[in-house]
């Protein structure tokens, strides 16, 4: 079985809720996963799923970043704010020194090669720093993250979501996770009457008012209380999935 987490910017707090639920209630399922893949926030959340790390601390640090961005009239475009450096420092602080050995062959990170806008999947990492660079590169949105694309392994790359926002390196038998209401296995249920949907670089998104709001907040974070609610929603959606589809793995008791 494989797991794929959609890229989604600051809505990645939803993924952290999913990750928290899976680690708490289905650790055997997590250990049995052949691969965990993602772009941007999805790849970052995939790392957190595969590595023993302080979820509460990571969530709190992300909330601090959100508050810092929202306190500025320019938001993420404030020249004093560097999301890449902030992300790199956070990853370096909580990831163990051998993290690259733990996730090599299991974590698949989606990148977009700038020269031809083709997707490149990275799954083998030479060092902790190499892994951190790959994750930061997968999250690099031009202008929003900076003016100069990151050079990774000798080539310029940008956010993996521009070419494959929800990578599935092994095709079938992949559980899809997304903070957008749609056809993913783990996602919000908006109870929308709309039958219209669209596909954004491999991520299926149903047309609904809630999804329009979510899309508008992916790069411009909402209030912390809204993000906390999204995190809780991710937890509950994952728990519902475990109970309905993975009961054999689920340790949760009513």
DSSP labels, 191-238:
------EEEETTEEEE--HHHHHHHHTSSS---HHHHHHHHHHHHHHH
Tell me which residues are annotated as active site. 40, 159
Largest separation between any pair of C-alpha atoms in the chain: 53
Residue 209 and residue 52 in contact, taking contact as beta carbons nearer than 8 Å: no
Q: How far apart are CA 122 and CA 124, in angstroms?
A: 6
β strands within 140-208, DSSP E: 150-152, 155-159, 174-177, 197-200, 203-206
Nearest Cα residue to 120 out of 4, 35, 214, 39: 39
Residue 36 and residue 166 in contact, taking contact as beta carbons nearer than 8 Å: no
Residue reference for tokens 């993975």: 246
DSSP labels, 4-30:
EE---GGGHHHHHHHHHHHHHH-HHHH
Residue 40 and residue 161 in contact, taking contact as beta carbons nearer than 8 Å: yes
Residue 59 and residue 73 in contact, taking contact as beta carbons nearer than 8 Å: no
Look at residue 243 and give its three-state secondary structure.
helix
């Amino acid at each position: 079985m494989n797991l794929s987490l959609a890229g989604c910017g600051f809505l990645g707090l939803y993924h952290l809720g999913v990750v928290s639920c899976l680690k708490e209630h289905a650790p055997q399922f997590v250990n049995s996963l052949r691969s965990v893949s993602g772009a941007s926030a999805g790849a970052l959340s995939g790392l957190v799923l595969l590595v023993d790390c302080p979820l509460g601390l990571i969530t709190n640090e992300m909330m601090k970043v959100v508050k810092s961005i929202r306190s500025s009239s320019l938001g993420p475009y404030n020249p004093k704010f560097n999301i890449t450096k902030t992300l790199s420092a956070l990853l370096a602080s909580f990831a163990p020194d051998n993290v690259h050995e733990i996730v090599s062959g299991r974590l698949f990170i989606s990148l977009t090669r700038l020269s031809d806008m083709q997707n490149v999947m990275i799954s083998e990492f030479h060092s902790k720093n190499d892994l951190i660079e790959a994750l930061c590169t997968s999250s690099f949105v031009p202008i929003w993250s900076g003016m100069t694309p990151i050079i990774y392994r000798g080539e310029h790359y940008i956010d993996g979501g521009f070419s494959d926002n929800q990578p599935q390196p092994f095709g079938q038998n992949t559980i899809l996770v997304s903070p957008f209401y749609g056809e993913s296995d783990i996602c919000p249920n908006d109870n929308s009457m709309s039958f219209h949907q669209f596909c954004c670089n491999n991520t299926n998104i149903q047309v609904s008012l809630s999804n329009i709001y979510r899309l508008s907040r992916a790069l411009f974070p909402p209030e912390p209380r809204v993000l906390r609610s999204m995190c809780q929603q991710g937890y509950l959606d994952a728990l519902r999935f475990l109970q309905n589809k993975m009961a054999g793995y689920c340790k949760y008791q009513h």
